Structure 1
Amino acid sequence: MPDSGTPKTFARIAHHYREKILSGGLEPGAKLPANKEMAASWGVAVATVGRALQQLQVEGIIRTSPRGTFVADDPMAGVSARDRLTRVQRVRTLLMEGETSAVSSASLVVPPLYIAEIFDLDHGDQVVRREYTTGRGGTRLTFGVNWYPAHFAAMVPDLLSTGRKKNDDLTARVLEATGRRITYARDDMHGRAADEREASHLGLPVGTPILAGAHRWADDDGVIEYGEWCLPPRMTIGYEYLP
């Protein structure tokens, strides 16, 4: 008997198609299976499929017409820090399929006071600071800055490199080299206006509304990676969690 549509089933279907679209597995304009076909494939009621697709439509990932359901021509869906950590744990890379990154700076610096406090540093201690932009095709998706303990650079020299493709699996290599394991993760987000640096990297006018956030990945020994990032306007971030 088809599933009656529990929240877990509905969320699982939405997550499946969201991930396929964000990863490039389904390209803009691609047609999704008919609702009845999808329901049979998942072993659920057609109404359950409808709820899942309605959620994706609200997120701007898909569009519907009398001809069927299609991936939006310009899916306005961003990738959360949680999505990236899950990606690292599954396939080592921070990037989704078809996504690229470019590192504009990487160096050891004496950080601002709030960063020093996050890493529990003494006055004058240094950290690794990496500035990057992600995109897909000609679309800029994220601008961000990641921070790491300074001694990680001796174990993973690429932390101080801006070389192409050395950013993709860096978190995985940091975890391997340090023997650390992320056991605590937190995301914080807020809307505000883009400053000059953020606007330049995202190709926006200064003052454009953006979604800005920060992630903190840590274990009992302290913070492993702290990152600050922002997304262009109209981008939607969503992720599941256990209640």
Structure 2
Amino acid sequence: MTRPTLPSTRIAELYRQRIRDGELAPGDRLPTIRELVDEHGVASATVRSALSWLRVEGYIVTTQRGSFVADTATNTATPRDRLDRIQRSGSVLATGETKQVTAAELIVPPLYVAELFDVDPGSQVVRREYVVGAGAQRLMLAVDWYPASFADSVPDLLSTVPGQRTATHPGGGNDLMQQIERTTGRRVLYGRDSMHARVADHREAGHLGVPVGASILAGAHEWSDDEGVICYGEWCLPQRITIGYEYRV
């Protein structure tokens, strides 16, 4: 993926990443406009544009005292952001995020999942269901699917041990993709995301702590290499959680 080159975009993404990763915590103050101008060697209008996007997306709030990281998360990482974090830090989680694994098993998947992995109907694949949260807030319900053969080389795929990324436990017990790369030699080279709005069913509502029929943003991602699909994931977010991505034309 080609990284954005506009200075305002680079500055905004730098602070998105720091906030998503937990390097900047709720209530932390951002540098002043003058400090950002001096640090990045840009005009004040460029800095103001970057901060405007962070405010629009809910990452920061601005008062007469300056700009601060929002106290309540109103955004979360996209699949691309999470993959980038895995490759940078070895964890799918940001600092302070938790991951409650509610299921980890070898099962016969729905036909469309079997077709994605190019396995015969009736064959098994790994299914992992989990909830990502931050404090008392639930940010995402997700289900990830992996080839059954991975379970032999990465036993943690079938573990439900909870993980939490902290400063002293940076991996958070959630470096499955890095374990897969080390043991199988396969690395994600391609990705595709899709999203749609719908209402929560009973299972999703229970995990996310929202009423049945509440509006949610649902999505799917596929991470693959030249040999085929490494991970196929489906996820949903509660109302008022924002995700975003950048692109060049």
Interval of TM-score (by shorter of Structure 1 and Structure 2): over 0.9
Q: Is the 8 A contact 1:84 1:94 kept in 2?
A: yes
1:143 aligns with 141
CA distance in 2, matches of 1:141, 1:167: 19
Q: What CA deviation, in whole Å up to 9, does each residue of 1:143-172 have, x standing for no partner?
A: 100000111111111111112237511111
> Partners of 2:156 and 2:65 in 1: how far apart?
49
Question: Secondary structure of 2:36's match?
Answer: helix
| 1:192 counterpart SS class | strand
Query: Who is 2:71 aligned against?
Result: 73
Q: Within 5 Å, give how 1:153-172 maps onto structure 2.
A: 153-165=151-163, 168-172=174-178
**What residue identity is the alignment partner of 1:92?**
G
**Counterpart AA for 2:243:** I
Of 36, 39, 45, the residue aligned with 2:37 is 39
Contact preservation (8 Å) 1:78, 1:236: yes
SS in structure 1 at match of 2:120: coil
1:203 pairs with 2:244 = no
User: What is the deviation of 1:242?
Assistant: 4.0
Tell me the distance in 1 between the aligned counterparts of 2:98 and 2:124: 28
The alignment's TM-score, normalised by the length of structure 2, stands at 0.91
Structure 1 residue 61: deviation in Å? 1.1
Matches within 5 A, 1:82-231: 82-165=80-163, 168-231=174-237
User: Which structure 2 segments of 5+ residues have no match?
Assistant: 164-171
Question: How far 1:241 moved relative to its partner?
Answer: 3.3
The runs of at least 4 consecutive aligned structure 1 residues that moved more than 4 Å come to none
Please list every run of 5 or more consecutive structure 1 residues that lacks an aligned counterpart in the other structure. 1-5
Once the two structures are superposed, residues 182-234 of structure 1 have per-residue CA deviations (whole angstroms, 9 ceiling, x without a partner) of: 11111111111111111111111111111111110001111000000111111
The alpha carbon displacement at 1:121 in A equals 1.3
Q: 1:55 to 1:7 in 2, by over 3 A?
A: farther
Question: Following the alignment from structure 2 to structure 1, what is the Cα–Cα distance between the partners of residues 82 and 99?
Answer: 13
Q: What TM-score do the two structures reach when normalised by structure 1? A: 0.94
State the secondary structure of the residue aligned to 2:177: helix
Q: Could you tell me which residue of structure 2 aligns to residue 50 of structure 1?
A: 48
Partner of 1:144: helix, strand, or coil?
Answer: strand
* Distance in 2 (alpha carbons) for counterparts of 1:208 and 1:116: 30
Is the partner of 2:212 in helix, strand or coil?
coil
1:239 to partner: Cα distance: 2.3
Cα distance in 2, alignment partners of residues 161 and 68 from structure 1: 44
> Which residue number corresponds to residue 3 of structure 1?
none
Q: Tell me by how many angstroms 1:67 deviates.
A: 2.3
The separation in 2 between residues aligned to 1:92 and 1:223, in whole angstroms, is 20
Aligned AA (1:190): H
CA contact (8 A) 1:101 1:167 kept: no
